[in-house]
Amino acid sequence: MELIFVRHGETLHNAERRFQGQSHVPLSEAGRAQAQAAAEALRDEPITHIFTSDLRRARETAEAIANEHDLTIVPDERLREFDFGAWEGMTWAEIVDLSPELLDHAPTQPRHYLPPGGESFEDVVARVRAFLEQLRALPEDARVLIVAHAGVLHAAIAVLEPPGIDPQRIAFANGSITRLTLPQ
């Protein structure tokens, strides 16, 4: 089964490099253009199913793509971004000021931190694993579009373990398209 992941389009929080986590932040003008560009890039793809995070920025991106395919979007809370707890709305610099022990880590290395009141990378991996396992009930030739967040994409790679890929060394741009295979 082919999985086509799309990271949601840009938001103002992304542009300001703020952790937005599970906040319902809308797409910016640039993000709407990225969503439309993803929709155009996927226009001729024979997509059979569309799943999305229920957060606004992902849903808006999924709607742009679904308009090209006449498919129903299925929202799923398991595709939400990390819950960053007390860090939501903060920049990495602000977070490091509060927790200097994180200075040697990058904001894109969630295995090395646990936000106060938030969830761990292992928590996100567990919910993404459950979502992917449920997809196994679909036909083997399904082509599944999943609109989600960078954290969910990192978790999916950790679950699927594509050979030669280090999930911590990958950056997913807003509006990017990533193709993976779900082994049967």
> Looking at residue 167, what is its pLDDT?
67
**In a structure prediction context, what are the per-residue pLDDT tens digits for the chain, which is 184 residues long?**
999 999 999 999 999 999 999 999 999 999 999 999 999 999 999 999 999 999 999 999 999 999 989 899 999 999 999 999 999 999 999 999 999 999 888 887 788 889 999 999 999 999 999 999 999 999 999 999 999 999 999 999 999 988 888 766 788 999 999 999 988 7
CA distance 37 to 35: 5
> Looking at residue 25, what is its pLDDT?
95
What are 143's strand-pairing partners? 2
Give yes or no for a contact between 130 and 78, defined as CB atoms under 8 angstroms apart: yes
Short-list 53, 60, 54, 52, CA closest to 33:
60
* 81 carries an active-site annotation: yes
Catalytic residue among 10, 49, 60, 81: 81
* Domains of the chain with bracketed CATH: 2-181 (3.40.50.1240)
Q: Which two tokens stand for residue 130?
A: 């459950």
* 24 carries an active-site annotation: no
Total-model pTM? 0.93
What are 145's strand-pairing partners? 4, 50
SS3 state of residue 160: helix
> Looking at residue 116, what is its pLDDT?
94
Place of tokens 């990533």: 178
Handedness of CA 150, 155, 156, 160 (dihedral sign): positive
Regarding beta strands 49-52 and 73-75, do their DSSP bridges make them parallel or antiparallel, or are they unpaired? parallel
> Looking at residue 106, what is its pLDDT?
81
